[in-house]
């Protein structure tokens, strides 16, 4: 708007303003025309300002919406990450429990085998003792 006022002022300054050729009424009419032009320029500038304010408000609303949407997406992603971590911990716990069960069953099997060897060894020892006792003279 300031640029238009400067251009209008420059155009007015180039008009011949001699007192002999211009009457008071013509100067008044020119001044009124210039004032009208300035008023139109001011109205156009105000309309442009209002339009820019509306655009700025719309951009702020869009920015707010995008920020809220971004926060929601980040929250969802964090939830998924935490869910994955919880699932990973659960899988690890299940693997440990399965391994414990396998180790327990293997230890039970080893104990059963050792008990079988112990019984067999005791039976062999008893048999050897009996045979030795029977061979020895009394």
Location of structure tokens 């998924």: 80
Q: DSSP letters of 16-42? A: ---TTT--HHHHHHHHHHHHHHHHHHH
Mean pLDDT of 67-83: 93
44 pLDDT higher than 70? yes
Higher model confidence: residue 7 or residue 118?
Answer: 118
Residue 14 DSSP symbol: T
- Cα–chain center distance at 66: 11
- Cα–chain center distance at 62: 17
20 pLDDT higher than 90? no
Give the whole-angstrom CA distance, residue 6 versus residue 12.
10
Residue length, the chain?
A: 138
Lowest mean pLDDT among 3-17, 56-70, 88-102: 3-17
97 pLDDT higher than 70? yes
Higher model confidence: residue 23 or residue 65?
Answer: 65
Give the whole-angstrom CA distance, residue 48 versus residue 44.
6
15 pLDDT higher than 50? yes
pTM, to two decimals: 0.43
Give the whole-angstrom CA distance, residue 53 versus residue 97.
65
Six-digit token string for 1:
């708007």
Higher model confidence: residue 45 or residue 12?
Answer: 45
Q: Which helix (H) or strand (E) holds 11?
A: helix 2-13
Residue 66 DSSP symbol: H
């Amino acid at each position: 708007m300031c640029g238009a006022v400067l251009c209008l002022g420059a155009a007015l300054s180039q008009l011949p303003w001699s007192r002999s050729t211009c009457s008071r009424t013509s100067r008044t009419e020119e001044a009124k025309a210039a004032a009208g032009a300035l008023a139109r320029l001011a109205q156009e500038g105000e309309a442009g300002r209002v339009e820019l304010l509306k655009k700025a408000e719309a951009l702020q609303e869009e920015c707010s919406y995008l920020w809220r949407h971004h926060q929601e997406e980040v929250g969802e992603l964090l939830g998924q990450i935490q869910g994955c971590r919880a699932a990973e911990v659960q899988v690890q716990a299940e693997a440990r429990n399965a391994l414990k069960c396998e180790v327990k069953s293997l230890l039970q099997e080893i104990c059963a085998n050792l008990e079988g060897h112990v019984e067999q060894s005791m039976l062999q020892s008893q048999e050897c003792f009996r045979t030795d006792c029977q061979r020895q003279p009394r």
